[in-house]
Amino acid sequence: MSTELTKSTSWKALEKHYEEIKNVHLRTMFEKDEKRGLRLKIDEIGIYFDYSKHRITDETLDLLFGLAKNRDIEKRRAAMFSGEKINTTENRAVLHTALRAPKGSTILLDGHNVVPDVHAVLDKMTDFSNKIRSGEWKGFTGNPIKNIVNIGIGGSDLGPVMAYEALKHFSAKELLFRFVSNVDGSDFAEAVIDLDAEETLFIISSKTFITIETMTNAQTARSWALAKLGDASAVARHFVAVSTNEKEVTKFGIDPQNMFGFWDWVGGRYSMSAAIGLSTMIAIGSENYHRMLNGLNEMDEHFRTAPMENNIPVIIGLLGLWYTSFFDAQTQAVFPYDRYLHRFPAYLQQLTMESNGKHITLDGQTVNYQTGAIYWGEPGTNGQHSFYQLIHQGTKLIPCDFIGFKKSLNNLPPHQDYLIANMIAQGEALAFGKTVDEVKAEGVAESIVPHKVFEGNRPSSTFFLDKVSPENLGKLVAMYEHAVFVQGAIWDINPYDQMGVELGKVLAQNIIPELQDTTKAIHHDSSTNALIELYRK
Ligand code: G6Q
């Protein structure tokens, strides 16, 4: 059992402080400090981050910053940015920040500058996406490509889908994009149901190129395309790969010329700014794609250089830790008030939960504190008409992130006013609630009063940006990536491996032959055996 963190002076100080402020209401905090809403905010690099509606005081913040300093956040951050192998269980560097480093910069990994490698791939992606977008790239029968199907799962799917949806406004309207991830054959079947193979390009996105879901879908896509195109040499015009595994890509029949590489120092869930973003670049064009990379880089630089007290990812990370490890909050909700970000919560779910869903410290001991929260969410205002009830009046404490934009990409008054009014109203209602006296003043019958009382004191952050844009999407993605880093560093866990996900990949492999060969003896537990027998019948 690792007790180092909880025995530290800064942790103990936070425990004591928690006891003192756990019952203090946000109403009181705002009454005591008229300027609280103006003070507890950061307005940097185009993000207005209001964190005044959190159950914190200046002392809480000081103690949290103290904890971060004592846990060597700055040193650990420098280690990540400089390519040290901070993914200790896999002995790898964690350099997704190098994927958006400007041309000409230097990031050394084992003495080798990786930035020129990154830009060589970006240039190759640019060349290819230009050819697809202009129609210069022809399919096997001489037709230009109209449909792009990305086949990948997890980190090789969620980033591309999220970014495509988020930046749809910037996407070439004459191209159609589909995303196939699930090994469920219906996913593939529905994705290609109305497509013409002569005009379809498959991007097989897989870091390892051995993931069963992706390889099964890729083989099915190959058969589907060849059934129409008739000749194995058509693969070269209709299949490209994004991977780190050239051997397997070649084995599949894809010309390495049509492979876009990346490196083992990019984790799957951190790879949307690597070549895994190829579908995004084809959709929005290389100029817009570079705008997204600039946004990511801007947030990287903010995180790397801003003092802790003015550092957005540091504060997000610390607030999350405050609720998870001290208030025992189990979940964190994320509500983008913009339809374009409707897949953002799903993307964040993988980023945060696959990263910090760990209970073993870097030196192999079990933690004695809570780590990574369950992330979830939906776009506003939809959620307001369903599960917000529980956030307002349920028994659970659910910190919320509201993400809103001042301008809509589709100017249809009064929609944006209504949308943003709702977002602001939710944060206000959660924080301040409605007292018994306020309810009574509305003339509510005595017996109904308790049902209409909102205790409030439910925390939230509000992020306000100008509008959905490639830069702003980049900033938001990097913002959460670095918040995850901050928490992982304090909890002393490794956010960059994923042993739990890998277990799933192995377990199914054992059962597949048992489903296919009904004579095979099975030796699982009685429940598993019964399920296998049922399927066999
Ligand atoms: C991401 C995870 C996982 C991974 C998928 C796909 O961090 O490791 O979601 O991205 O399992 O793996 P491949 O890209 O290797 O197919």
Stretch 389-407: mean pLDDT, rounded? 98
211 lines ligand 1 (CB under 6 A): yes
User: What per-residue string of b and e applies to 155-174 under the rule 16 or more CB within 10 Å gives b?
Assistant: bbbbbbbbbbbbbbebbeee
Q: How far is CA 536 from CA 252, 511, 513, 526, in A?
A: 31, 12, 11, 15
Stretch 315-325: mean pLDDT, rounded? 98
Q: Which residue lies with its CA nearest to atom 16 of ligand 1? A: 206
In ligand 1, the atom with minimum distance to the C-alpha of 211 is 16
Strands 147-151, 200-205: pairing is parallel
Give the per-residue SS3 of 402-463: EEEECCCCCCCCCHHHHHHHHHHHHHHHHHHCECHHHHHHCCCCHHHHHHHCECCCCCEEEE
Q: Is the pLDDT of residue 505 over 90?
A: no
Assign 455 a pLDDT band (cuts: 50, 70, 90): very high
* pLDDT tens digits for range 173-199: 999 999 999 999 999 999 999 999 999
Tell me the C-alpha distance between 478 and 275, whole Å. 17
Stretch 119-136: mean pLDDT, rounded? 98
- Quote the percentage of the chain above a pLDDT of 90: 97
Assign 221 a pLDDT band (cuts: 50, 70, 90): very high
Stretch 272-284: mean pLDDT, rounded? 98
Q: How far is CA 288 from CA 239, 291, 295, 317, in A?
A: 24, 5, 11, 29
217 lines ligand 1 (CB under 6 A): no
Q: How far is the CA of 497 from the centre of ligand 1 (A)?
A: 11
Assign 97 a pLDDT band (cuts: 50, 70, 90): very high
* pLDDT tens digits for range 33-89: 999 999 999 999 999 999 999 999 999 999 999 999 999 999 999 999 999 999 999
313 lines ligand 1 (CB under 6 A): no
Higher-pLDDT residue of 504 and 366 is 366
HSE-CB for 460 with a 13 A CA cutoff = 27
Assign 2 a pLDDT band (cuts: 50, 70, 90): confident
In ligand 1, the atom with minimum distance to the C-alpha of 155 is 10
Q: What is the pLDDT of residue 134?
A: 98
Tell me the C-alpha distance between 44 and 302, whole Å. 8
Positions marked catalytic: 354, 385, 505
Q: How far is the CA of 99 from the centre of ligand 1 (A)?
A: 18
Stretch 370-382: mean pLDDT, rounded? 97
- Best of 89, 209, 211 for a ligand 1 pocket test (most atoms within 8 Å of beta carbon): 211
* pLDDT tens digits for range 477-498: 999 999 999 999 999 999 999 9
DSSP SS3 for 57: coil
155 lines ligand 1 (CB under 6 A): yes
Q: Is the pLDDT of residue 508 over 90?
A: no
Q: Which residue lies with its CA nearest to atom 1 of ligand 1? A: 268
CA angle 118-46-42, nearest 5°? Answer: 115
* pLDDT tens digits for range 511-524: 999 999 999 999 99
Residue found under tokens 């395309």: 225
Strand partners, 336: 403
Report the helix count and the strand count for the chain, using DSSP H and E.
22, 13
DSSP SS3 for 290: helix
Q: What is the pLDDT of residue 140?
A: 97
Provide the residue type at 317 as one letter: G
Q: Where are the beta strands (DSSP E) in 262-406?
A: 331-336, 374-376, 400-405
In ligand 1, the atom with minimum distance to the C-alpha of 270 is 7
Q: How far is the CA of 259 from the centre of ligand 1 (A)?
A: 18
> Judging by beta carbons within 10 Å of its beta carbon (0-12, 13-18, 19+), is residue 518 exposed, middle or buried?
exposed
> Please, are residues 25 and 434 in contact by the beta-carbon 8 Å criterion?
no
Q: What is the pLDDT of residue 503?
A: 85
Provide the residue type at 120 as one letter: A
Q: What is the pLDDT of residue 267?
A: 97
Q: What average pLDDT is seen over the chain? A: 97
Assign 502 a pLDDT band (cuts: 50, 70, 90): confident
DSSP SS3 for 42: strand
Q: Which residue lies with its CA nearest to atom 5 of ligand 1? A: 154
Q: How far is the CA of 502 from the centre of ligand 1 (A)?
A: 9
Q: What is the pLDDT of residue 3?
A: 86
Q: How far is CA 204 from CA 256, 295, 343, in A?
A: 13, 26, 21
Assign 297 a pLDDT band (cuts: 50, 70, 90): very high
Q: What is the pLDDT of residue 1?
A: 82
Stretch 137-158: mean pLDDT, rounded? 98
Tell me the C-alpha distance between 297 and 484, whole Å. 17
With residues binned 3-state (H G I as helix, E B as strand, rest as coil), the percentages for the chain, rounded to 5, are 55, 10, 30
Query: Which tokens hold the place of 462?
Result: 């509000």
Sheet hosting strand 47-50, strand order edge to edge: 41-44, 47-50, 460-465, 400-405, 331-336, 374-376
> Please, are residues 475 and 299 in contact by the beta-carbon 8 Å criterion?
yes
Assign 506 a pLDDT band (cuts: 50, 70, 90): confident
Q: How does DSSP classify residue 276?
A: G
Q: What is the pLDDT of residue 509?
A: 86
